Structures are given as C-alpha cells and as structure tokens.
Amino acid sequence: MVIRMQASSDKGQHSKAMKIAAAIEGVESVTLAGEGRNLLRVVGEGVDSNHLTSRLRRKGALYRV
C-alpha cells in the first residue's frame, strides 16, 4: 500500500507517520519513497487499510491514499 503525504511535510511528520504505520498489526515494513520522500510504502499481510488510514488521519499524518 502506498500513501501520499503532503510535499511540505517536515521530517517530524514523516517519522511520526512511519511509527504509526509500524505499530499496526500485520505490517512488516514501512519505508519512505518518491522524489520528495513524500510516499509512505507499507508492506505486510492482513493489514487493514481502513484502520491504518484512520489512525494516520487522527494523528494528523495522512494526506492522501
């Protein structure tokens, strides 16, 4: 799953989003990708994308899936 974050996000927002995603059950890997490192790539089995995106939105770290 790839989640696009705002290009203007600072490093703190990126690391916050990575920590939130890594804490979700079933997530095996979380990386930043893209030219501006504005893509959050989440890999895992049985990851509930709705749960992940709602957690990121609540914490203010998600911008677009």
What CATH code is carried by the domain that includes residue 20?
3.30.70.100
Residue 65 lies in a domain: no
Q: What domain range includes position 14? A: 2-58
Residue 48 lies in a domain: yes
* Distance between CA atoms of residues 48 and 51, nearest Å: 5
* Distance between CA atoms of residues 13 and 6, nearest Å: 10
Give the per-residue pLDDT at 41. 95
Residue 13 lies in a domain: yes
Per-residue pLDDT band at 8 (split at 50, 70, 90): low
Residue 63 lies in a domain: no
Number of independent structural domains in the chain: 1
| Mean pLDDT computed over 2-28 | 84
Residue 29 lies in a domain: yes
Give the per-residue pLDDT at 14. 85
* Distance between CA atoms of residues 22 and 35, nearest Å: 22
